[in-house]
Every structure is written in C-alpha cells, then in structure tokens.
Amino acid sequence: MAVSSSSFLPRVFIAHSSFECRSDPDFSGAPTGDKPRLRSNRRVTPSLFCTGGGGLSSLILRFPPNFVRQLSVKARRNCSNIGVAQVVAASWSNGSSSGYPSSASAAASRAAAAAAAASRPVSGAVAIVEGCIDNDSVQIEDPYDAKTSFLSSDGSITVHAGERLGRGIVTDAITTPVVNTSAYFFKKTQELIDFKEKRHTSFEYGRYGNPTTVVAEEKISALEGAESTLILASGMCASTVMLMALVPAGGHIVTTTDCYRKTRIFIETILPKMGISATVIDPGDVDGLESALNKNKVSLFFTESPTNPFLRCVDIEKVSKLCHSKGTLVCIDGTFATPLNQKALSLGADLVLHSATKFIGGHNDVLAGCISGSEKLVTEIRILHHILGGTLNPNAAYLIIRGMKTLHLRVQQQNSTASRMAEVLEAHPRVKHVYYPGLPSHPEHELAKRQMTGFGGVVSFEVDGDLMTTIKFVDALKIPYIAPSFGGCESIVDQPSIMSYWDLSQAERRKYGIEDNLVRFSFGVEDFEDLKADVLQALESIVFPSFV
C-alpha cells in the first residue's frame, strides 16, 4: 500500500468508560484453556492515557494488544483505507522488518518500542493477552468441515453456514462484510511464493476469489452437502462454463427436451462449433438415455429437474447409476427445486447447478449462478472460470448471503401456496391443464414424492382459450408482475409464447410444446388468500372463445 510522504500523527482516543476489545470469534470447540485469555487488572480511564510520560507511544501501548493485532492483520485486509492505523499497527505486528517508507519511520519506531514494552510484565494499567499467536496472514479459515453437523435443519444451515460456523473474515459483525477490492497484496515476495506453492493462504486477484464470495460458496456447499461450490455471475454463466469445462472437443452430451431456452440455444448453436454433439430425450425416457450411452461416448448427462416450464422430473438416482456405469457424469440443474426441496448430490448426481438469481437470492435483485459437487470436478470448472472471467461482484455475493438466510421460510410459504393454487387451478373450468409435480395428474408425481420434500413455488397451466384470451387473463391479475424469472418474494407471471418464444412462429413454438395459452406463475410470499382471490377474479374476467 502506498503511503503519503507527509507525516501522520495518531488521533487521540479518549475512553469515557471501560475499554475492552473483544477477541476473535472462536467456534472451534477448543477447551477454554487453549484459547487466548483477556484480563485487565483495572479499568482503563482517560487519566491512564496521560500518565507515564510516554507521549503518543504510551498512548498506543494503552490499547490492548488484541486490538492492535486485529488492526494489523485483519483490518488491513478487509478495509479499503485505514490510513495511519495500518502503518502504525502493522509495525507493531511485524517488528522492525516491516520495511515501510522512511516518511512513516517515526510512527513505526514508536510502535516497535511499544511492542517491545508489551512483551514485558505490565503492572496495573494495561490489559494483557496471554497465549495470543499472530498468524500474520489473511484470515481465511479452513474450508467447511462439518461444523454444521449438530444442526438438524436446513433452515439453521442457511442462516449460519459459512458465517457464525466458520467465517474466514475475522469480525464481530453479525453480517458478512463486503470486501470491495480488485486485488490483494503480499508483504514480501517470499509470502507470494509461499502462496503460489500453497504454504500460505490468501487471495491474489479479484477474478480468482473474494472473501465475501467464499462465504456464499460455503453456505451453498453446506446446504447441498457438497465438497465445493463455485459461484458465478449468472445461471447461464454457470451452465456454459460447466459444459465447456467438462465436455471435450468432439465429445457428446445427452440433455432433455424441456429446458430453459437459452440453454437449448447454447447446446444447439455454440457447442457444435467445438465439435460437441448432443442427443435430446424426453425427461422420463430412461431407455432413450441408455440407447444414447451405448451408441456414443457420452461425457455428460445434463438436465433440469424439475424442468422449465413443464416441471417434468428426472429419476436422478436411476439415471446416475446408469450414467456412471458408462463413465458418464451427471449434472442436475435444480433451480426450480431449490436445495431445500431436493438434494441431487445425495441422489447420486455428480454436480448440481442453480440459477441463484431465483429462489436462492429470492428478492429479484441479484444475478448469480452456482455449481456444487466434488472438489475435483468443481476445480476443473473453476480453472476455466478464472480464464473466462464471469466473476460475481462481492456486493452481489452479499445479496446472495442475505437472501439465503430466509430461504427456508420463503420456500415453505411458496411450496404451500403453489400446491394449494395448483389444486384450485386444476378444478377451475376455465383452466385446461395444470403442470405441477405435487398433483397426482403429473406424469412424475410418484417420482417427485420420492426424491423431493417439497414441489416448489412455480405452477404452469394452460388457460382454456387462445393467445388473446390468455393475454386478457394475465392483464387482469393485480398482484403478480408480468416479468421473466421466478423464485422471488414477489409473485411473477409470464406467458412463455410471448416472453421467451415470441421470435418464433406458432408452429415453431409448438415443436417445444409451447402453446399460446400457456402461463407460468411463480408464487411469491404474499398471503395465499390474496393470491387465490386475484387469480380467480382474473379467470372470471376472461371470455371463452365460444361465447364471442
């Protein structure tokens, strides 16, 4: 960090009451005797700062060493500008070898003298830390290591994983700080070499990692039961990077007919340029999958479950066993399910992918995507990600962390509302068909009951009418927004034939099963009775074509 040539003087700190600096949070469960202990023989008062004839150096000495340690080691990594405090406190931590410019030498020498004094017994005035070891490195703890094993609920995990139970950023703040930096510095070249050879833990460049982003990744890993998670700038970014990283040039993949349209476009138009071909099967066609595996050297089976927009479900356990017998990887896009309603990794999938923009973020205010799985596979994807650069901004990572704390509450409400509304819609005379895994009429209802604990907050249905009739229904709704996306607190409705497929002719849309009367309704966290009343009044407002 560059230091101005002008001399700095520390600002005088006046304590009006007892002053005690909290030690770093420790949730390791180590015996109390193994931890640093803070004791004070008497209260620190303003008079103490003015005694002893030590001037400013005595003033610095009066701060508990733990306070200075936090400034020198943690704060300079996590704050954008701490000015002279960094220079003075770093000298305390690093001793005479700090190597700071001569313009700060006076402050540095005072700090060094104070450090030497602190190592001697001090009577009366100063709080002492016993057994305190300064790691002198960026404070990143070991990766998630079953610290949440005592928690029985996904709801508790979404609140605490990656933070209270093992946050790398050392802070007493309840919320995770946003570390807005594009690069990280090394105090000496040897420290950089140690980092490169994995003897020193730190970050290097913003595209390769960020402390705030790591918290979001560890929280998702804990929820999915994954060894590692990579979070990226969007769900599509996650899908495309994953496909390019795991499927070699000239390779082959298997995917399903019902899926997000942009994913289909990438598979149909971009992958062939790399020599990668694809077999497309019905989500429930296990025989078709087996045939494709026998005919081709398939690198990856990639599908959504439930799918978009018809919410079809894939037998994850069965297809995983089948694919693994042929050496094929399985990646499940579980965006519609959420990690709460479905655990794809525990069912046998190698990777699970989410558009975190949807339920995980949950507030319609952030774009993000994530991939979870084994350390080996996620590392392969991460290497390509670092090259392509679809990096999530740390402010967006904070929004993901914030959103996940209420994920279980939101999903509970959305599951309940969607299930009840699906039954209401199926019974209504002006609704032609309803697509929802929680209904017995759904083709994979029994499968969904086996591998899901909830059926999600999205319901697709066909209004009994044409394009204009359906438009009239959508426009008559008062609560939901007409918008793309889903999974947020606010209800959202869209007509896929217009929102996502308007550039295709009606005949081309029908190839994908998209009829003009199809509606996709994402239920938010509004009251069920309000939503029910709104949907029913909108249905009553439409006129059957036969009555015109």
For the annotated catalytic residues, the residue numbers are 207, 260, 333, 358
Question: How far from 520 is each of 98, 169, 307, 492, CA to CA, in Å?
Answer: 61, 41, 12, 8
For the chain, the distance separating the N- and C-terminal CA atoms, rounded to the nearest angstrom, is 75
Residues 6+ apart with CB under 8 A from 394: 178, 179, 180, 210, 212, 213
Tell me 247's DSSP state: S
What is d(CA 74, CA 76) in angstroms, rounded to the nearest whole number? 6
The single residue listed with the structure tokens 């994920």 is 407
Residues 6+ apart with CB under 8 A from 62: 44, 48, 49, 125, 126
Report the 10 Å Cβ neighbour count for 343: 21
Of the candidates 320, 358, 327, which has an alpha carbon nearest to the alpha carbon of residue 238? 358
Tokens 């970050």, residue located: 203
What is the C-alpha separation between 357 and 397, in angstroms, rounded?
11
The CA distance from 105 to 88, in Å, is: 9
Alpha-carbon distance values, 524 to 1, 182, 229, 480 (Å): 47, 36, 27, 8
Closest residue by Cα to residue 74 from 63, 84, 66, 62: 66
DSSP annotation of 70: I
Beta bridge partners of 39: 128
